[in-house]
Amino acid sequence: ALNGERMTMGILPDRSELLGVIGGHVISSDAKAMAFFLGRAIVEAGYKLATGGCRGAGEFASRGAAKYCDAHALDVCEHVFAIVRWGDSPEFSQCRTVRAGKDDFERGMVMMGRTRSVFIVGGGGGTEREIMNAAVDDYMAWGTANILPVSGTGGIAERILAMGARYNDSVLDSPDVSLPKANLLVQSIDRYRFSLFDFWDLDIQEGWRCGDRHPAVRRTYRIRHYGKKQGEGPIRVEGE
């Protein structure tokens, strides 16, 4: 359960081992290639990959991870995970399915709360909601995935970087697509943090004090603190 109680680990690996890739469903060829390299780099570095199970960024990251697994006699189902809503299935086959949450909000909370870091490849409104889950959870001190937008992939990733919070690194700030860039991103997961609340022009203190007027803050708080008492949560995760 994801309601502040101690969780029993099931299918998903420990948070320290799990890195995510989220982003757009329709992305450029460069973004697809970068997602593919990220998936490979994640597994090659000894981590496991989690995606939302949709076409686009998650699909190509899973392809890259699965190809590396196949080449090195690793079990894809132990290294590549797709977190989808109950009743849904991933839009690609190179993964192990983990069902969690009755809607995208709850699934996003699981995705962002159970991963150590998440790479953003492009992205639109759905990606924005997942990042908001991370921002609220992070401020409420429950711990959340660190966000690393990938330069050159468009969408939400570029909007975050355009706020001026760049990496100040010639490789990471470059729009170029390369495996060395993917490897460096994975090596950098504990090195960078981005101020996510600034992304929505939402003052973090105001968001906390007046949470009942911000739907993401309100619902996250209800799930975390009240659970079934308020008709929210606990979030059901397959295998737990």
Among 13, 30, 25, 17, residue whose Cα is nearest residue 186:
17
Alpha-carbon gap, residue 100 to 98, rounded angstroms = 6
Tokens 């609220």: give the residue: 136
The per-residue pLDDT for range 1-50, each reduced to its tens digit, is 333 333 334 689 999 999 999 999 999 999 999 999 999 999 999 999 99
**Short-list 138, 88, 149, CA closest to 109:** 138
Nearest to 153 by CA among 36, 51, 47: 36
Nearest to 144 by CA among 156, 131, 126: 131
pLDDT band at 210 (very low <50, low <70, confident <90, very high): low
- pLDDT of 91 higher than 70: yes
Tell me what the mean pLDDT of segment 164-183 comes to: 92
- Chain mean pLDDT for the chain: 84
Residue 68: Cβ within 10 Å count: 20
Give the pLDDT of residue 93.
Answer: 93
Region 149-174 average pLDDT: 90
At residue 196, φ and ψ (nearest 5 deg) are -75, -30
The residues, ordered by sequence, that sit 6+ positions from 106 with a Cβ below 8 Å of its Cβ are: 2, 85, 100, 223, 233, 235
- Residue pair 65/80 in contact (Cβ under 8 Å)? The answer is yes
